[in-house]
Amino acid sequence: MGLKSAIIKTILYAKRNGIKAAYYAARERMELESGPEYKFYPPSEKLLENQRLSYKSWIENGDSVRISIVVPCYNTPEKYLREMIESVLNQTYANFELILADAGTDEKTAEIIAEYSSKDPRIVYHHLESNNGISENTNVALEMVTGDYTGLLDHDDVLTPDALFEVAHVIRKSMINTRTVKFSNCPVRLIYSDEDKCDAQQMHYYEPNQKLAFNRDYLLSNNYICHFTVVRSDIIKKLKFRKEFDGAQDFDLILRATDGEGDIIHIPKVLYHWRCHEASTAANPLSKRYAYDAGKRAVEDFLRNKNIPAHAVELPHVGFYRTEYDADVFDARPDIGIIGGKLIDKNGTIAGGIYSEEGEILYNGLKKEYSGGFLHRAVLQQDADAVDLRCMKVRPELQKLYKQMLGVDYLDTTRKNINYRELDSDTQITDKGTKIVRSTDRNKDKEAKCAVISDSIAFCKAVREEGYLILWDPQIEKKLK
């Protein structure tokens, strides 16, 4: 990020959230930028050649999925337009069509595209008579789609040369595993990849978004799926983009496209470079303030259509939201079995609260005032593998399971005056429940910590096996004594 852009962001953040919050946000960003530099390593020529050979064999066997890429254009600078088109033409997977719907007034755009399309019939160009907004313009391109799957690409961004091959590989694998014949019946509903950002010259890459597997509650907090997104064509053609959500039209579409039968697959590999320049949302968040308002409305529309009594609240970081429930969460969300919060140690850092299935403490050691990096994950609600018994609220129907597994009566430990176990304590079971016995033995302290995390993971696993989600809410906070 340029110095000017960083200063502007800090000033605007301070106006919205106060000097103290802006101080910690700026301090966290400085620490991140002084850390190890991110480097994007393009796929090797050997890998790309192997992909070309695999594609050739797929074509010969007649099992090659056709992928349509739709791009709404509007007065795209020549350099960006050419680099976008060439990034598609350079794909190792060649069974695609590139559909460009141009609503711009610059005749140069049509000339450049004609130059490419005259040499390659896979490029389809349509000039729109009027500019009806990003959603309506993209819908015109959708009507022209002939492929089995449809990918979304912005007019000034670029794909890595292996992007379509990786997508096709996922689809092909699913077809083989499920013995599906028609691509329109493929169980894969939506595919998305990791992404990063690049400067206008495409020389410097930064802020990689190494995404989570599909996580509904995390998606409600922000459009983390974003780029590169590919949706089965029959689904995206039915849903279409909605003009009332222009600015957040992709977010609105993804919320709806992920709601239905079928698999949502994450490819853990950067396949998309999001170009940042002065006018882009990525470089200047307030250049499209309306986009974040539209995002909030998209979340609330999704909640309303799912009959969930809740509303979205914008967080200090623009483009990120929190779901506030109008009623008890367990009444509003019958799919949630447990709610957990974060544990803060005496140094003011996160010491527990959310865990991977293997027992890793997520966001461990992060200052409680920090958001968790450029993606702000540590302050966002999200579905979890496990949360901690020391800061946990359990659905009434599961409280019997709690006692069966843990041997003690259920305690709502999200309440500040109630503790399940302390890191420096032993636990004795009595007929009245849990009794805390203080210990000064550090080895026992460590054993107690390991035991409570182990118990947390085991209980949460049992709850997930019952078919429930586990929600981590970082605004629920408890201090460890």
CA 402 and chain centroid, separation: 31
Asked if residue 8 and residue 145 are part of one domain, the reply reads no
28-35: list long-range contacts, CB under 8 Å, 24+ apart: 28/367, 28/369, 28/370, 28/371, 28/373, 29/374, 32/373, 32/374, 33/1
Residue type at position 85: I
What would the DSSP string read from start to end of 139-186?
HHHHHT--SSEEEE--TT-EE-TTHHHHHHHHHHHHHHHHT---GGG-
Asked if residue 463 and residue 368 are part of one domain, the reply reads yes
Q: Does residue 320 lie within any of the structural domains?
A: no
Asked if residue 101 and residue 29 are part of one domain, the reply reads no
> pLDDT tens per residue, the chain (481 residues)?
455 555 556 666 655 666 776 676 667 687 777 778 899 999 999 999 999 999 999 999 888 999 999 999 999 999 999 999 999 999 999 999 999 999 999 889 999 999 999 999 999 999 999 999 999 999 999 999 999 999 999 999 999 999 999 999 999 999 999 999 999 999 999 999 999 999 988 889 999 999 999 999 999 999 999 999 999 999 999 999 999 999 999 999 999 999 999 999 999 999 999 998 655 554 455 557 889 999 999 999 999 999 999 999 999 888 999 999 998 999 999 999 999 999 999 999 999 999 999 999 999 999 999 988 889 999 999 999 999 999 999 999 999 999 999 988 898 999 877 766 543 344 443 333 343 444 444 445 555 567 889 999 999 999 999 999 999 999 999 988 7
Look at residue 192 in the predicted model and tell me its pLDDT.
Answer: 98
Q: Of 58, 92, 94, 89, give the one whose Cα is nearest residue 173.
A: 58
Asked if residue 260 and residue 339 are part of one domain, the reply reads no
Collect all residues with Cβ–Cβ distance below 8 Å to 354 and sequence separation of at least 6: 340, 342, 361, 362, 363, 382, 384, 386, 387, 388, 472
Look at residue 295 in the predicted model and tell me its pLDDT.
Answer: 96
Name the strand (E) or helix (H) holding 336.
strand 336-344
Tell me which residue has tokens 């099992």: 63
Per-residue b or e along 216-234, where b marks 16 or more CB atoms closer than 10 Å to that residue's CB: bbbbbbbbbbbbbbbbbbe
Asked if residue 287 and residue 253 are part of one domain, the reply reads yes
Phi–psi pair at 17, nearest 5 degrees:
-120, -5
CATH number at residue 93: 3.90.550.10
Q: Does residue 150 lie within any of the structural domains?
A: yes
> Is the separation of the CB atoms in 156 and 275 below 8 Å?
yes
Asked if residue 220 and residue 125 are part of one domain, the reply reads yes
Q: Does residue 312 lie within any of the structural domains?
A: no
Q: Does residue 302 lie within any of the structural domains?
A: no
Q: Does residue 113 lie within any of the structural domains?
A: yes
Asked if residue 59 and residue 29 are part of one domain, the reply reads no
Asked if residue 54 and residue 79 are part of one domain, the reply reads yes
Domain span holding position 8: 3-36
* pTM for the full predicted model: 0.89
Look at residue 355 in the predicted model and tell me its pLDDT.
Answer: 97
Q: Does residue 321 lie within any of the structural domains?
A: no
Asked if residue 103 and residue 86 are part of one domain, the reply reads yes
Asked if residue 364 and residue 225 are part of one domain, the reply reads no
Residue 36: CB atoms within 10 Å: 6
Residue 120: CB atoms within 10 Å: 11
Q: What is the DSSP letter of 367?
A: B
Residue type at position 154: D
Asked if residue 260 and residue 159 are part of one domain, the reply reads yes
Asked if residue 391 and residue 250 are part of one domain, the reply reads no
CB-count exposure of residue 468 (10 Å: 0-12, 13-18, 19+): buried
Q: Does residue 449 lie within any of the structural domains?
A: yes
* Phi-psi category of residue 412: left, alpha or beta, with phi > 0 → left and psi -120 to 50 → alpha: beta
Residue 307: CB atoms within 10 Å: 7
Question: Strand 149-152 to strand 229-232: parallel, antiparallel, or no bridges (unpaired)?
Answer: antiparallel
Q: Does residue 303 lie within any of the structural domains?
A: no
Q: How many domains does the chain have?
A: 3
End of a domain among 273, 296, 319?
296
Helix/strand/coil for 9: helix
Per-residue b or e along 434-445, where b marks 16 or more CB atoms closer than 10 Å to that residue's CB: beeeebeeeeeb
